[in-house]
Chain A
């Protein structure tokens, strides 16, 4: 068990100008389950592979516990990794796959068999120990890959999108199993995914990356309630948050036919004459007096209890897609126009130019954004 620290770690692939991971600072507490999430090419897998030792670190340091492992080969880092396509050895049985690392480490045959059996029991794999990976289902292979990591009893688990090859139902099941298993074992885990639902449900904390730069790291609840910038706001949450560029008026912002009140000092932080207002679909309500933003309804998705309304609106010559969640019993009709407004106190305001959240930091120091929030949380004490 150990902490993991990324200290200004960067990775620049040869022949490219822009780093794949740019000065990553991250502190992961002992026993914490940290999720790295972001769109394709954001550097999340590269970060994980740097920690594994499969990628060079071109600048900065990586520490496991108090040990600087920046230049330590993978085999000496005391980590175990679960790969996206499992990377099981096709010519070895399940038992040999799980025991390979122990065999290399010179563990006796009896102890090896014992530890493999324990892990197999934990993962419900006992009856498959003699099979080759080819003869297993996708879910079983995934469990073998987990077992291979568990058997080693490492300081840190690294998981690179381990659920992306499973079907939807199995993914949800396995998601909970992995989260509870790693917590039970108390092993520090770094988990990479592009699926923000996985990130939100599994992580003690979630680190959001984009273009190799850490955007925000926080508990799932905090990410949802207080996204640090426009990107995080749009990335976390499904359906995505509505983001509108609205003109600043006296005492607020112009939200269609109404003025949404905003404290003056907050507006003072913004550069330019507009601010970006974000409001989640569930935080939009119908303005019965037609005193709000006129939205033309394109599609209505009825889910039973709720209905999602997908529509659009236009102002200042720009078109915005708007998503709203309404009561399933009284949805608007596609083709009609409805007036909406945000629920009081449920909006997120961002500087249109810098994209940063207003009211978080003193104006003119956008650089300070991420580091302030980068405080490790004790595992298990977070809101799930």
Chain B
């Protein structure tokens, strides 16, 4: 039987050794207020892992556990947590800035059967360092990727695509290849909700369309060296028609695309739960349990009602796209409204 994945992204800590321009922690004031928060204890973390393990078995899904931050390697009991996830045989990944992955750290991660590391690279050396506000951030991240790759830990490089770095995806690909990463892709930037469309880093639909087309070219150009992922949700807009899409739409069922409401959830360092890490709407606490949070939370139910998605995001691609709900919320204040980055109307036949 083909199983779906049940994805839990956990902010293990609010601490970080970098202060990136686009970081949602910065926007949400977490660095300033972290002293006021009660971080989940090791016992609470183990309970969350048990819950993910048991719920995925219950639902016949594959548990995916992504440990984020802050920077996850800043959490002092990280190795104890990884020992536990290894014992539970979860597919565990780290979402890291890469700068702290020394040879020794890479070995420790490998010993705990970490299945993958995602390292963020946001441009060539100069651009990346400028965004990270740290002179050697790029070189340290590349070194971290190399160290993990040497230990045969698969590394994906992820770029956050913004106005100021949108022309540097190819440089990111080349950096990823040089360090030994096996995949590279990008995620769209979610604008600061207080600025919305006026956020200077926000990409409009036309700009995103150009990049999406370029990414398809680069996928072919570098296919022998690395896998260029075209997995951002808005790539679905370019998908050809297929019976699966028709069937899903007819039955009002989720096929693929943005997983919000269906198979992904985000837990903050204090146990608070968001539908997605990029969508800061509190839906509960992890102590309530994943079954309740997924099945009973009203907002999660709204996301599963395809008929509630508004305007152009209710198009014939709704069952495998739905746009980015976080971008829609940041721009309009309505998480069911259209994704302003959708370029479907711009596609030339």
Asked if chains A and B come from one complex, the reply is no
